[in-house]
Amino acid sequence: MEGLPIENYIPNYIKELIPYPPGKPIEELERQYNVKNPIKLASNENPLGPSPKAIEAIKLATKDLNRYPDGSAFYLKEALSNKYGISQEQIVIGNGSDELIDLLIRLFIQPSIQCITSHPSFLVYKKRVQSVGGENIIVPLKNFRHDLVTISKSVTDKTRLIFLDNPNNPTGSTISQKDFSQFLNDLPEDVLVILDEAYMEFCRDHDTPRGLEYLGKDSRIITLRTFSKAYGLAGLRLGYGIMHPNIASYIERIRQPFNVNTLAQKAAIAALNDTSHLEKTLQLTWEGINYLSKQLKKLGCKVYPTNTNFLLIDISLDAQTVYEEMLKKGVIIRSMSSYGFTNFIRVTIGTEDENKKFISCFKDVLKKLKK
């Protein structure tokens, strides 16, 4: 851009943004590390793949790809409204729940306006807030859980949004019903709480709030869900938000007219109807949690209880080194170093074979590093 004074046009809060850390494509890793069929346990995806019914629906829909998508996502909203017994005016569909996070932040956050998030939690919240020049108020987790008391004390008259990923990414922990009730009691009526329930399908903790229970009762609560995790459709990009119709109507005004593509809409409806694929996914995940937790404990690691499809593990070794050693063996995991957790890794539950491969490679890496 030499000769163009564009640097002056860009606000400092955008210049200071760090791009979301991209992963390498699997094919690239195969080449670079010379490994065959690497396994990816880094992004909390469904190892079984999409529902076969979703794949069928996608194939059928390809012939209509010359047409624009249904901008109102009519049938998908209808399917969701039937599933949950709610009205379509309470539902917003997004190109991933990422887009809904972005839209909510664009709707409510401006320079000098505050958004509260926990650290660590999903990275996208803070980056989106920064991209509109808002102020991030960051409250550390306490005992690996959202510290609702401190969050509540951090609210000022400039606070509009609080993001709570429940269950939390990357710890897998949940909020208790009692703590949440107290939190809502203490919270001003003009502060919105976004419950990001990306992993709620996996959650076996009955003592944690589900956002849906508050619909029609507490209009401060917005629930986000996604088809990327339990439903195995991460590549299609599809999420939905459930909220007071007033808020929904503002999101409808600022979103792009065709934000959710045709294949995603068709696949999602089919996936919602395929309860057997979902059940298979949950069963596999829960068995994998048992297996991996047991094996990892035997190896002297500390495994944190999880309500998701991933495990946070304290390996008492430098996580970045272990990440790189595992990569050489064709196992992609997540190092938590960038979150400031230098001895922690996050591992997605895979298929039975993938979990076994992870354990056997991890054993080898431990042997090598502890020599």
Ligand X SMILES: *Cc1c(COP(=O)(O)O)cnc(C)c1O
CB of 226 to ligand X, least distance (A): 3
Q: What share of the chain is helix, strand, coil (3-state, %, to 5)?
A: 45, 15, 40
CB of 210 to ligand X, least distance (A): 15
Q: Whole-angstrom Cα distance, residue 246 to residue 252?
A: 10
**Using CB under 6 A as the criterion, which residues of the chain lie in contact with ligand X when the complex forms?**
44, 96-98, 122, 165, 169, 196, 198, 226, 228-229, 234, 239
Closest to ligand X by CB, 92 or 359: 92
**CA-based nearest residue to 171, from 349, 312, 343:** 312
CB of 42 to ligand X, least distance (A): 12
Amino acid at 220: R
Closest to ligand X by CB, 96 or 209: 96
What's the Cα-to-Cα distance from 225 to each of 77, 144, 201, 230, rounded to whole Å? Answer: 13, 22, 9, 10
Closest to ligand X by CB, 236 or 361: 236
Burial of 353 (0-12, 13-18, 19+ CB in 10 A): exposed
Q: Whole-angstrom Cα distance, residue 342 to residue 314?
A: 9
CB of 47 to ligand X, least distance (A): 15
Closest to ligand X by CB, 118 or 152: 118
In this chain, which residue has its C-beta nearest to ligand X?
96
Closest to ligand X by CB, 145 or 328: 145
CB of 328 to ligand X, least distance (A): 26
From edge to edge, which strands make up the β-sheet containing 159-165?
A: 91-94, 239-242, 221-226, 192-196, 159-165, 114-119, 135-140
CB of 363 to ligand X, least distance (A): 28
Closest to ligand X by CB, 239 or 350: 239
